[in-house]
Structure 1
Amino acid sequence: MVKRKYLFIEGTKDTSNGNLREGFSKLIEQKAKLKMPTISMGDGKSQAVDKFLNSDGAKLLCDLDADEGHRENDLEKYNLIEKKDSVFYMIQEMESWFISQPDILDKFYGEPISTKLAKKQATLFSEPDKELQRLTKSNKKRGQYHKVNHGTLLLKMLDANKLYNEFSDFKKLIDSLK
């Protein structure tokens, strides 16, 4: 009997504004194919960490909410040191992934959002969610960026191959599912 793999992800289970679990699933299956884990949303980082810590062989995907240099501090804060090889971060946040592929932002919002982005690496935005809100504040097609509603749709548009090549934690996550 094959043991089911679980991936706990920081984010809401509430689907009234969009289904983040479905968005992450569509993104990850681009690379994982038949090795897809069962994805469970954690309703916030603390809840996702608790679920992860109480499961054998599971993996955790969450926002670091800081730059790469804060990884060890976060692992300590959430008592994840012993399971650090199964913890994967979106640095700083999921929105860094969207900023790294500005062409999808242009397509989704129907305007050249990419021309408004500062020319810096996506992981260097300290609050990428707030940056997307600022850039889309007056957007006529979709309105201001909404973390769940827009995030769910943007996750499905991301190119997993680009993420795999640009974000080391995404690469490690995908490789760990093989």
Structure 2
Amino acid sequence: MAKPRIVVLISGSGSNLQALLDSPDLGGEIVLVASDTPDAGGLARAVDAGVPATSVRLADHPDRRTWEAALQDQVAAVRPDLVVLAGFMKILSGTFVSTWPTVNVHPSLLPAFAGAHAPADALEWGVKVSGVTVHYVDEEVDHGPIIAQRAVPVLDDDTVATLHGRIQQQEHILLPEVVAAICAGRVTRTGRRVTIAPA
């Protein structure tokens, strides 16, 4: 039986992509890495791993709708079973994210601190625990059903950089675990409730 086909969307250095590439038991095949940023470091990581890589830049299109259509065409061409947003910093429409199962990794315990500045927001709020969430993506920002979470303590001397660094360490563990569970058919979604069966 063929392995599930995975597309990973990135915007930056691609450390979560690297965690997926390095996973010995992902259970699926990464068939494309795409970025909205041509100089994203993650594209080089994909090439080094022998994975096709491409960029679809918003500035090269007349509007956001045509940019997304171009991105969707690139993704559709490789017939994915799963799309993973791994540090992808553009908002996608409901049309896009409903075409394939799409998951995202976010540096907070959602629904707390959605948006692009979660570690900074957590520090400003003074919380004692933050963490990482892997969730299905819907048409709202950081809103889709939660698949898995992992807590990360906030230390008294934390900066945004140190807190985010420790959160990323957990992202690199949790995201491959969730993707592997999805590829193995162990994830069940009923409305907003998501369960993961034991391996």
The normalised TM-score by structure 1 is 0.44
The normalised TM-score by structure 2 is 0.40
Higher helix share: 1
Higher strand share: 2
Q: Which has the higher contact order (CA 8 A, sep 6+)?
A: 1
